[in-house]
Chain A
Amino acid sequence: MQSDVVVETQSLSKVYRDFWGRQKVRALKALDLEVRRGEIFGLLGPNGSGKTTTIKLILGLLFPTSGKALVFGKDATEVTKNERIGYLPEESYLYRFLNAEETLNFYGRLFNMPRAVRRQRVADLIEMVGLDWAKRRQLKEYSKGMVRRIGLAQALINDPELVVLDEPTTGLDPIGTRDMKDLILKLRDEGKTILMCSHLLADVQDVCDRIAILYQGELKEMGRVDALLSVRDVTEVRAAGLSALAQEELKQVIERNNGHLLNMGNPTTTLEELFLKIIHESEEHPGRRVRGVQEAQKD
């Protein structure tokens, strides 16, 4: 039976030293965490908080000063664990002199994939990331978003069980960001485990099931996103089609029950949703100016 824990760190610490062995930075201090099968786990924190160090320790790119990092129950420095991992680094560190097809073929060969399987997989992934039209162009001619997409494709070449994403939405435009988030959710729905780190709080909130917040190398908080974000002493009621009279009555009910009304009004949408709506309408009706929300309200 497979273990429920995919990634586990036990008192994981990392100290960066200089050439003479003197301590430079204590990047991570006795981190204990578990990432469970099928969840999206987010590592949150400001720059220098130890998120990327944690990811690199888990991938075996760095060696721990003390403690342990286990992936699928194996030590993080064990090579065979990588057969079940896909990794998208912070910036897509790919060979710029290769084209998209060559890039995916190369990484496919590193997984010892037979030629026929590899070809099919490469074609599927190129289509999935929408780069079919540019698959024979060298990556040095790609835009940042295109490189990011091919980077994601290489991370999925082996159909991994664990996908490690380092700042997955960095450098993407709003559409790309939305696509990336949709893809993360889709991967989770396919049963894959996602470990991601980001300092873009909205992205993490949108997709993560559980998060850990790091600050100066220490774990400050860990748990389910909805549980961590819920404000226990505030009640939120959202209703549509209420008249002004009904709203007044609601206020009175709150007062009668010794409650304190914090706000009552029309909610605002997010800028991301507005942007996506405009793009969507523009694609449906090319050439027509999209009516903004304010204009619509005037009507």
Chain B
Amino acid sequence: MVIDLNDVIPFFHWLPGALLYWLVIVAIVTGIATVVAWLVAAVRHGPIVAMRLTWRLLCGAVDDLVRMSPRRVAALAWLSIKESIRRRVVIVFIVFIVILSFAGWFLDPGSINPGRLYLSFVLTATSYLLLLLALFLSTLSLPADIKNRTLHTVVTKPVRASEIVLGRILGFAAVGTCLLVFMGVTCYVFVERGLSHTHQLTADDLRPLQSGPAGEPAGLQGYTSRANRHRHKVIIDPSGEGRLEMEQGHWHRLTVHKEGDKVSYQIGPPEGMLLARVPIYGKLSFRDRKGQVEAHGLNTGDEWTYRSYIEGGTLAAMVWKFQGVSEKDFPRGLPVEMTIGIFRTHKGNIEKGVPGSLAVRNPQTGEKVDVRIFEAKEYVTDVQFIPRQLHTADGQPRDLFRDLVDDKGEVEIWLSCVVPQQYFGAAQGDLYLRAGDASFPLNFAKGYLGIWLQMMLVIGLGVMFSTFLSGPVALMTTLGTLIGGLSHEFMFKLAMGQTYGGGPAESFIRMLTQDAVTVEMEPGLRTATAQTVDALTQFWMRLMAAVIPDFGHFSFADYVAYGFNISGDTALTFTCRAMAYLLPVFVAGYLCLKTREVAK
């Protein structure tokens, strides 16, 4: 999972700067829009009259936006809800139920992490269905009203264009929200029931472990029965306490009942499958092979530069510096979770992990203590615990909080690869301290908040486009914006010339000539023309990338599926971002409707 640490800035740290930035953007856009409006009017009526008309438009706009009537907006929203119901919007919910009914056929509960699979599926299915619904509802309604002239009987009442646009947005939002709530509840039940299972364990399934050197009992070991295409290893210690090992991202609680000589085992429901881990992230820096500080590690040739790598068997290391670490929050020690990328220059035993070293360092005193050597595996989230009591290489005891965490509550965690010619890679979000677990149902609801925000953006854009475009054109434009927004990162890179193979024209020539994207094109008229066309295209793409919202960024599906808590700060930040985008979209929609002739 890619974690963008800009998303986890505390809300009140983020707000002032973001608000200022937003105000500046709004001021610039308003200025440009005013000049464009004046130019258009000047062409028709001359510059002086155009000034008067533009001024009147601006004053009227302020009046229309400030003096909106809640009763009228509510009436128009009610009309949109009625219209949606008439259009059999509930069919979407029925389609959703049908999809869920057949989902059991292709969702494999025996996969490596069924929880992630189920959650990804339900969130993606809900998201696509709801966005499509929002797209159709929002883009086709107003043009149909204009075409059927039903809008004539509305605009000849004391209704402001702002009320019409806002009424539509709120009405469709209400319909979408109701559907989303129903879908969310259904999905939660589906996931809970789909993943729910248990195993059987009898005394015959267990065999004694080999006794210790003094002949003391070492407990029992065995396997549970199979369910959902897996079974768990069971270890029962000599005191009679038992545990099931983690399998497919979960474990079960084991209760041992003794009645005389008879022993029975009861296995509880799966645990650890539906999580909302609360991570504390540190700041990542690198040490090169000579131990010098670097901002980035090595690139092992991957186009995806999310992770940076360090070379094994050298002084190279990845260092996470954490702040605000206190004994009060972690009384027993530091629980560390990490997902390390491994680049192997030689395979060896591919099933075997690559050894790495975990150490803790006090950033103030510089004292560093090795914790342990561990085995890193690809695609696995490794859980390590740094205990309170540690020992230096010469056997001196050290207390984690007294000796290794400095006065400001800062501590460094060092990670290095001990095998020469093997590489470890990580991004900042790949190692974190697990501060605890939040409520999963609440986190699941926050995941749906992300879908709701995406839906609101689609509705806003759809209604805005439908104020000046015909239904099908508004639909295609909104769909194009949605696709552009979902592939925003790629579009941005393309606009900034950061992709291999050039822009659209150069890529087209490469397709015809079958040239590889990394090969330089031969200098000449053809190349020069293609690159000029691309430069012009890139300007417009940069503009589009700046205007179109990054829809993918609003999705919290990965957080939920990978079991990370969506912090209140993140939820609030993204809600504000969506609303900050919606507000100008609403004003643009209002202006488009206000300045168009409804009866033309």
Contacts and interface: CB of A to CB of B under 8 A. Distances in A.
Given A62-B597, A110-B72, A112-B69, A93 B150 contact: yes
B292 interface: no
Contacts of A110: 72, 75-76, 154, 157-159
Contacts of B150: 93-95
B156 A95 contact: no
B330 interface: no
A79 B160 contact: yes
A80 interface: yes
A283 B72 CA distance: 44
Interface in A196-245: none
A130 B490 CA distance: 63
A258 B411 CA distance: 126
B598 A107 contact: no
B446 to A, nearest CB: 35
Main SS of chain B's interface residues?
A: helix
A93 B156 contact: no
Contacts of B71: 109, 112
A109 B154 CA distance: 11
Contact of A79 (B79, B149, B158, B599): B158
A80 B75 CA distance: 18
Contacts of B597: 61-63
Interface string B186-216: 0000000000000000000000000000000
A222 B561 CA distance: 76
B239 interface: no
A210 B378 CA distance: 90
A97 B86 contact: yes
A6 interface: no
Nearest to B43: A21
A46 B438 CA distance: 75
B344 interface: no
Interface in B152-169: 152-160
A112 B72 contact: yes
A95 B79 contact: yes
B253 interface: no
Contacts of B76: 110
Contacts of A106: 75, 78-79
Given A93-B148, A106-B79, A112-B72, A87 B86 contact: no
Contacts of B599: 56, 61-62
A139 to B, nearest CB: 11
A95 B75 CA distance: 13
A93 B157 contact: no
Contacts of A95: 79, 82-83, 150
A22 to B, nearest CB: 14
Interface residues of A, number: 31
B600 interface: yes
A57 to B, nearest CB: 9
A95 B82 CA distance: 10
Contacts of B64: 79
B542 to A, nearest CB: 29
A60 B155 contact: yes
A111 B158 contact: yes
Interface string B58-79: 0000001000010110111011
A119 B294 CA distance: 75
Interface residues of B, number: 29
A98 B82 contact: yes
Interface string A97-141: 110001000110111100000000000000000000000000000
B82 A97 contact: yes
A59 B152 CA distance: 9
Contacts of A56: 599
Nearest to A87: B156
A109 B74 contact: yes
A158 B78 CA distance: 20
Interface in B553-600: 597-600
B82 A93 contact: no
B75 A89 contact: no
A141 to B, nearest CB: 14
A255 interface: no
A158 B76 CA distance: 17
A62 B78 CA distance: 27
B90 to A, nearest CB: 15
A82 B152 contact: no
A85 interface: yes
Nearest to B86: A97
Given A93-B149, A106-B79, A61 B155 contact: yes
Nearest to B161: A79
Contacts of B152: 61, 87, 89, 93
Nearest to B598: A61
A119 to B, nearest CB: 14
Interface in B76-117: 76, 78-79, 82-83, 86
A147 B557 CA distance: 49
A151 B150 CA distance: 11
B153 A79 contact: no
Interface string B112-155: 00000000000000000000000000000000000011111111
Given A63-B597, A95-B83, A154-B153, A109 B158 contact: no
A85 B156 contact: yes
A136 to B, nearest CB: 15
A110 B83 CA distance: 17
Contacts of B82: 95, 97-98, 102
A278 B401 CA distance: 106
Contacts of B148: 93
A59 B597 CA distance: 11
A173 interface: no
Contacts of B153: 87, 89, 92-94, 107, 151, 154
Contacts of B151: 93
A107 B75 CA distance: 8
A109 B76 CA distance: 9
22 contacts: A61-B156, A61-B598, A62-B597, A62-B600, A63-B597, A82-B156, A85-B156, A87-B153, A87-B156, A89-B149, A91-B149, A93-B150, A93-B152, A95-B83, A97-B86, A98-B82, A102-B82, A106-B79, A107-B157, A109-B71, A109-B72, A110-B72
Given A63-B597, A94-B150, A106-B75, 19 more contacts: A59-B156, A61-B156, A79-B158, A82-B159, A92-B153, A93-B148, A95-B82, A95-B83, A97-B83, A98-B82, A106-B78, A107-B153, A109-B71, A109-B75, A110-B75, A110-B158, A111-B158, A151-B153, A154-B153
Interface of A: 16, 56, 59-63, 79-80, 82-83, 85, 87, 89, 91-95, 97-98, 102, 106-107, 109-112, 151, 154, 158
Interface of B: 64, 69, 71-72, 74-76, 78-79, 82-83, 86, 148-160, 597-600
